[in-house]
Amino acid sequence: MPSPAFVATLVVDPARPTLSDALVARAAQALPGFVERRWLDPEIAADLFFDGFDGADARASLAPLAAEAHYDVIVQPMATRAKRLLVADMDSTLIGQECIDELAAAAGFGAHVAGITERAMRGEIPFEAALRERVALLADLPIAIIDELLATRITLNPGARALVATMRAAGGYAAIVSGGFTPFTGAIARRLGADEHRANRLEIAGDRLTGRVLEPILGADAKLVALRELTARLGLARWETMAVGDGANDLPMLVEAGLGLAYRAKPKVAAAAHARVDHSDLTTLLYAQGIARSEFVEA
């Protein structure tokens, strides 16, 4: 018997394991050509294998139940689900904070800068101009605040450690590509064991920030270039790549990747990405590849 052409992966928040047999059965009924199911993690994640639907139609068929039951769904061809490259945004993706907002709060401009950040991430204003405007408000801030924030404010999002560790243990490559700043991406890369990190560079004079960001600015185009460069360097096909992010500056790389996932993303990004992670955590990127919970590697 030939292998099914497609797989729909259903995932709920691991903190609320509500993916019941009945719920999976209802989802299966919405997929013409349904073949079989497989639990990746009982009550948390399951694969539904099927034929006869393209990805977009299958997602549309499953969307009403997904909204009702609060699960995420990733639909893709079976033959191309395994990935060897992960390119991940950092702020509000791998970590729960926006680092520039944390720096601005320390400088006394928190609410003002957070508003600019939100507009930039929604794609309402150009990222590069918004970054320069926000960094200018950080002038004369002592650089020691960065280590303080890393120690007291910056936290990894659930599933980040398992995501990076499991992919690397399987021979994959993990890169952090951020519109944030290298002192933060370097620290997070070390925490996670990522292979490399790319981000913007803050100008420093003595022990203080100058309020300027060094050129060139790493924005949407640079993220896309990074994905393409890494794909070529590693000798991978496009389908072997995966990207995850939440903001408008992530969108080009999400569209380019073999699988681009919008994580708790802004509406424009969530609408255009291949799949969205609204309810579950970053381990969804492992389940999407058919990796069972028993195969996860913890950092």
pLDDT tens digit sequence for 227-239: 999 999 999 999 9
Q: Which of 13, 41, 72, 89 is catalytic?
A: 89
CA distance 64 to 49: 19
Confidence at 27, pLDDT banded by 50, 70, 90: very high
CATH number of the domain located at residue range(s) 1-81 in this protein: 3.30.70.260
91 is known as an active-site residue: yes
List CB contacts of 171: < 8 A, sequence separation 6 or more: 84
Closest by CA to 194, choosing from 63, 69, 295, 94, is: 94
Span(s) in the chain for CATH 3.40.50.1000: 82-299
Q: Is pTM, for the whole model, over 0.85? A: yes
Please give the residue that has the higher pLDDT: either 53 or 156.
Answer: 156
Pairing of strands 173-181, 85-88: parallel
CATH superfamily of 82-299: HAD superfamily/HAD-like (3.40.50.1000)
Q: Which tokens go with 250? A: 């992530």
**Confidence at residue 2, expressed as pLDDT on a 0 to 100 scale:** 67
Confidence at 56, pLDDT banded by 50, 70, 90: confident
CA distance 40 to 51: 20
Span(s) in the chain for CATH 3.30.70.260: 1-81
Q: Are 214 and 203 in contact (CB under 8 A)?
A: yes
Q: Are 9 and 74 in contact (CB under 8 A)?
A: yes
Q: Are 78 and 4 in contact (CB under 8 A)?
A: yes
Confidence at 299, pLDDT banded by 50, 70, 90: low
250 is known as an active-site residue: no
Q: Which of 91, 101, 246, 281 is catalytic?
A: 91
CA distance 191 to 27: 38
Confidence at 53, pLDDT banded by 50, 70, 90: low
